[in-house]
Amino acid sequence: MKLNAPFSDDKPRALVLGNGSYPDENQTRNIIQKSSFIVCANGGSIKAREFQINPDIIIGDIDSIDSGTIEYFIKQLDIPIIKNLSQEENDLEKSIIYLLKHGYNRFILVGFMGKRDDHTIATLQIVKKYLTRAEFQIFSEYSEIFLLKKGFYEFQTVPQQIISLFGFPHARGVSTKSLKYPLVNEHLQEGSRGLSNQAISEKVSIKINSGTLLVIKINSTV
């Protein structure tokens, strides 16, 4: 069976940084090393400066960046800023549109979950909107998150790691291997079914026949 797992090869990955919750510093550094192009979505530049990350560009309406951060990236590091004042999209979506136009279709999103609940929901809606054109991997302080379409996927896990699966809003023909509560050709809809399953090995596989499946891997340290 063909493996459609996100980021299963070495194609370029664009990292987009927001101003929400981040994984710990070690994991954030590992994510940066896997990225070939780094974009700060507006206030993500504040986090980039905090982590001493040098982005390739900064995109957004620049409304939530303090003058010290702007001066640091422009005058000291000469990082280009693409100012986009449109109120039709938020800064994450502006960044995705820019990157798609420049040939990227694999995105790692960090700093777009947590803090404001409305931003968290908007992030998931944006990812779903562009899911036919790109692959997304989302990192929060406590989780790694995927939205998946039809296909067969494998994930590296650790035994007893919590993995939750949700229809978004539905996913049909969902089958799993190496989960404590296996699914066989299930139809997952909106609701709590699929919450808090557990890995029983170091690799979990998921097959989806149609729809969209939201997969949340909780960090093993939580």
d(CA 79, CA 89): 23
Inform me whether the pLDDT recorded for 3 exceeds 50.
Answer: no
- Confidence at residue 1, expressed as pLDDT on a 0 to 100 scale: 34
Inform me whether the pLDDT recorded for 222 exceeds 70.
Answer: no
Structure tokens at 88: 């039709």
Query: From the centroid of its chain, how far is CA 9?
Result: 17
**Strand, helix or coil at 27?**
helix
DSSP-assigned letter for residue 24: -
- Confidence at residue 11, expressed as pLDDT on a 0 to 100 scale: 74
d(CA 185, CA 202): 22
Structure tokens at 174: 């969902």
Residues 39/81, Cβ–Cβ less than 8 Å: no
One-character DSSP codes across 193-209: TTTTEEB-SSEEEEEES
Query: Where residue 5 falls among pLDDT bands split at 50, 70, 90?
Result: low
Structure tokens at 121: 């929901």
DSSP-assigned letter for residue 91: H
Domains in the chain, ordered, with CATH?
14-141 (3.40.50.10240), 148-218 (2.60.120.320)
Half-sphere exposure of 211 (CA within 13 A, CB side): 22
Instruction: Give pLDDT tens digits for 19-38.
Output: 999 999 899 999 998 899 99
Global pTM?
A: 0.90
207: β partners: 152, 175
Nearest of 111, 109, 114 to residue 130 by alpha carbon: 109
Instruction: Give pLDDT tens digits for 107-145.
Output: 999 999 987 889 899 999 999 999 999 999 999 999 999
d(CA 215, CA 220): 15
